[in-house]
Chain A
Amino acid sequence: MIEYVGVPIGTGGMACCSRYPAGKEITFRPVAEIREDVRVVVKEWASGTGPNVTLVGVDPFKHPELPTLVRSVTGCGVKRLGMETDGVALCSGDNAAGIISAGVRHIEVVILAGDAYSHDRLTKIEGSFDAAMAGMASLAEVAKGLGSRIIVCGRSRICRHNFEHTPGIVCAFAEAGASTVTLEVDRAVNRGRMRPLLEAAVETGITYGVWVSIEGLTEEELGEYSRNALSPAYTTPFEEWRSS
């Protein structure tokens, strides 16, 4: 389907379960370095619809030079530009309008549970679930006002602390207007206990008209849901893309 190249803009700042040891310290790459990577992607893009880039590694709203960064990336000639965020900043000030006006069209919001109580407990950030949902709504409204076609997707990292929330996560994203939900399943999650919940998540998606992609499980493990290994859009890490 549609390939994006994941260009790192920093490290250590993506939304994740707080019950795991704290990740690396947050670092940011300079805009000039990022732009060079994007130029490589644009120059070496071989075939298919593109070049497409997604900003990875750290929540872009935490990047101190986000406006310059986005302008710089779109100025390189990418066809599609995406970013992954916890969504909290989307309903603040002109953030939603700012990124859409700058050319971001693919926004992936990360949540860890399908309700405010569980999500906030896992992130240890009070109000973060409601803010993410409000951010998604704000994006849709702003895009409509600007006449821009954007796509809002959901992503959740499923670990042993939140796997019971999987159908609820899909439901929450669907009600917030996501077109696709990606479930990134940790290898440590018990497969037997996970399976009925994944099935429920996939079927919840279908009844809402939302495609659920599952990462981290083999086709064999997915069984009759092996088609859900497919994703309408997927991200290849920059280094991996270059070496291929």
Chain B
Amino acid sequence: MSDRPDLTVALVAMNWPSYQSLALGYLSAYSLADQRLAGRVGFVTMDLNSDMDPWWVAYRVIRKEPDVVALSVMCWNARSICMACRIIKQARPDTFIIVGGPEVGPIAEEWLESRPHIDAIVRGEGEETFAELLHTRLKGGKPWRVEGVTCRREGEIYSAPDRPLIADLDSIPSPYLSGQIVARHGAAYIETYRGCPYNCAYCYEGKGYGKVRHFSPERVAADIEMVASTPGVGEFSFIDSVFNLNKEHLQRITTMLEPYAHQGKRLHTIEVDIERIGPEEAAMLKRAGVGSVETGPQTVGSGALQACSRRFDSERFRAGVEACKAEGITVECDLIVGLPNDTFGDFLDGLEFVLDVDPGIIQFSTLHVLPGTGLWEHAEELGLVYNSCPPHEIIQTPTLDFADLRRAEVLGSAVTAHYRARVDGSAPPA
């Protein structure tokens, strides 16, 4: 007699090394809390690295003989995920393959058009839609009737209406508290809110998830306690788009984190709006156990800042970095090459600025024109030429031609390599 549930679901993510997928934890936690699914659906979670060979990803999935495979797609893993899906579908044609995530949601119909091996796409926030889709699957219903799903309806690609965002985030059980994720040292992330108060045109966060919605302070405190108390976890982080969302939020989180900081628990690489950090805020970050923060400026070019709806005040930025450094907090400054209106000169100005600010870490990357972002929507009018295949790297702009972009990439890499080669500079632990 088999003890298999009515529906076996394999959840697959291919993360950057040292990341745990919070998304998979949310999906399984939400579905298992659904009384219609409890006891009838079983989950196998495969939290893998993005450098893993798609053939071995497919092998691991196929060996579990799942009825449904659901994969989280980001720009950096889309190619590998696609290949794994194709192999899975060919080996087990009856497997129902679902994908979701910011890479696919905004261009769901286009994705299905060219990928017959994928059965359904969950658009936008996934928890509720995914659970509904599993329920529909269990009862033999039509997936195209599920809000937020794009799939094939009698051979034609069809998008059901959008599903509203989840109003009460506490209705999503915590992956940590429900036991769906066991926190790992350095790889565990907590979310205190969704959305972003800013609307930077190159980012999906502010546009895709709309206005800021919070988890309750009680829920956040419980998550922190669970993660920080997990044996072996000395370091974790937050996935929030801006950790210092406002002073009250920062104060509240600091109060929650301070007891754990006293125990030696540390936070790494939280994203902050550095221009809103003064000595008081930096001291709060320190008390919360923050060891390093990540911030812009992304660019200092006025044309690019305007096109990306970003503000930049060099003096406030510099003051924020100094405040963090005074508290012993390492600052990572990020620059993006290839933003609209930026010239080679603007790129050099950006490099000179961050070198002068001397934050500790300088990180520089090439623009990716991501689906669903403002730049994606306005790419044509901005004259942005980008790779239509993920990860959608910029190819050229009206102000930076193909050759200059490549030159800027090489120069930027050389400068950052020079910058980090310091007497006290050690490589991060493997």
Contacts and interface: CB of A to CB of B under 8 A. Distances in A.
Given A106-B418, A180-B418, A230-B348, 19 more contacts: A1-B352, A48-B355, A49-B356, A79-B423, A79-B424, A80-B423, A81-B423, A105-B425, A147-B427, A147-B429, A149-B421, A151-B421, A206-B403, A209-B409, A210-B414, A211-B410, A211-B414, A227-B407, A232-B417
Interface in A102-116: 103, 105-106
A79 B422 contact: yes
A87 interface: no
B413 interface: yes
- B: interface residue count bin: 20 to 34
A205 interface: yes
Contact of A48 (B356, B410, B424): B356
B426 to A, nearest CB: 5
A210 B415 CA distance: 11
Contacts of A81: 423
- A: interface residue count bin: 20 to 34
B47 interface: no
A78 interface: yes
A149 B415 contact: no
Nearest to B406: A206
B201 interface: no
Nearest to A143: B427
B411 interface: yes
Contacts, number: 82
B393 interface: no
B423 A179 contact: no
Contact of B414 (A47, A49, A148, A232): A232
Contacts of B418: 1-2, 106, 151, 179-180, 232-233
A142 interface: no
B133 interface: no
Given A1-B351, A48-B355, A227-B344, A232 B421 contact: no
A74 to B, nearest CB: 6
A204 B329 CA distance: 40
A149 B410 contact: no
A149 B426 contact: yes
B358 interface: yes
Interface string B303-321: 0000000000000000000
A80 to B, nearest CB: 5
A150 interface: yes
B419 interface: yes
A74 B414 contact: no
Interface of B: 344, 348, 351-352, 355-356, 358, 403, 406-407, 409-411, 413-415, 417-427, 429
Top 10 closest A-B pairs, CB basis?
A105-B421, A151-B421, A211-B414, A232-B414, A49-B358, A103-B423, A232-B415, A149-B425, A233-B418, A232-B418
Nearest to B357: A49
A149 B411 contact: no
A60 to B, nearest CB: 15
Interface in A93-150: 103, 105-106, 143-144, 147-150
A150 B411 contact: no
Contact of B410 (A147, A151, A205): A205
B425 A148 contact: yes
A49 B419 contact: yes
Nearest to A231: B414
B39 to A, nearest CB: 50
A210 B410 contact: yes
A1 B415 contact: yes
A49 B417 contact: no
Given A1-B355, A1-B415, A206-B407, A150 B421 contact: yes
Contacts of A151: 417-418, 421
Given A49-B358, A79-B423, A230 B411 contact: yes
Nearest to B411: A211
Contacts of B352: 1
7 contacts: A49-B358, A147-B426, A149-B426, A180-B418, A209-B413, A211-B411, A232-B415
Contacts of A149: 420-422, 425-427
Contacts of A230: 348, 411
Contacts of B351: 1
Nearest to A212: B410
A237 B420 CA distance: 23
Interface in A186-244: 205-206, 209-211, 227, 230, 232-233
B356 A232 contact: no
Contacts of B411: 211, 227, 230, 232
Contacts of A179: 413-414, 417-418
Given A1-B415, A180-B414, A211-B414, A80 B421 contact: yes
Nearest to A209: B410
Contacts of B348: 230
A231 to B, nearest CB: 9
A76 B376 CA distance: 51
Which of B409, B417, B421, B422 is the most central at the interface, judged by chain A CB atoms within 10 Å of its CB? B421
Contacts of A232: 411, 414-415, 417-418
A232 B421 CA distance: 12
B67 to A, nearest CB: 45
Contacts of B413: 179, 209, 211
Contacts of B424: 79
B417 A105 contact: no
A136 to B, nearest CB: 15
Contacts of B355: 1-2, 48-49
A42 B203 CA distance: 41
A48 B415 CA distance: 14
A138 to B, nearest CB: 17
Contacts of A211: 410-411, 413-414
Interface in A28-63: 47-49
Nearest to A53: B423
Contacts of A210: 410, 414
